[in-house]
Amino acid sequence: MFEVKDLVIIVTGSSGGNGSAISKKLQELGANIIDCDLPKYDVTKDEDLNRVVQNALKINGQINGLVNCAGVTYGNNVLDYKDEDWETTYKVNLKAPYELSRKAAKHMKNTGGSIINITSLNSELGFPNNPAYVATKGGLKQLTKSLAVDLGKYNIRVNNIGPGYIKTNMTKKGWANHRQEIEKRTILGRWGNPEDLLGAAVFLLSKASSYITGQDIYVDGGYLAKGL
């Protein structure tokens, strides 16, 4: 039921952090992984997205899964936020998942498949000094629901995994400056590791989740659930 062996799966943002952990685990489980990341592929370039889809199809003519994990963040107060940082964040965090999902879905129509978008706590909560990241992750959450509605008739499932505070290069400032504060706010009392996302990813890519679409799974140690 939790099999991913022989599936053809594209993983963006696979050169480090969460994407790397997901890609490696899927390969260990026997999936055929097409890693989509710099320098080989630039997710902001349409020709590179077309190329990664074509390379995936070369394996056995099918695409069974897509994990949109590529992401960038540029911290700054909204009054001083640079236009170019907003545009880059939008292109990587929201436009690229939209475009690649459409391209991959065209080749999933006859066989079905699974698309996972990696969102964030920022999809639910406003955080300071990061307007573009918060906006794009909130948009990605809703894009997933729209795609689930449109693609369901083809048996293509689309779901979100929302990481909490996971220790990666992207979160190193938070780890350095707010580690204890965040651990106190998290029910399980610790930061997550990229490996904590693997169970949810395998679940959503396998037949074990065959009746699940349009949903958000937050792997956050209980951060969102905690009140006082």
Instruction: Give the residue numbers annotated as catalytic, written as ranges.
Output: 133
Give Cβ neighbours of residue 205 (< 8 Å, ≥ 6 apart). 4, 7, 9, 26, 31, 64, 65, 67, 114, 116
Single-letter amino acid, residue 20: S
Residues in the chain: 228
Give all strands of the β-sheet with 216-219 in edge-to-edge order.
32-36, 8-12, 65-68, 113-118, 156-163, 216-219
Residue showing tokens 């996971």: 166
Q: What is the DSSP string of 111-157?
A: T-EEEEEE--GGGTS--TT-HHHHHHHHHHHHHHHHHHHHHGGGTEE
For residue 132 the two structure tokens come to 């573009």
Q: How far apart are CA 126 and CA 164, in angstroms?
A: 14
Residue showing tokens 């890693």: 35
Strand 216-219 and strand 156-163: pairing?
Answer: parallel
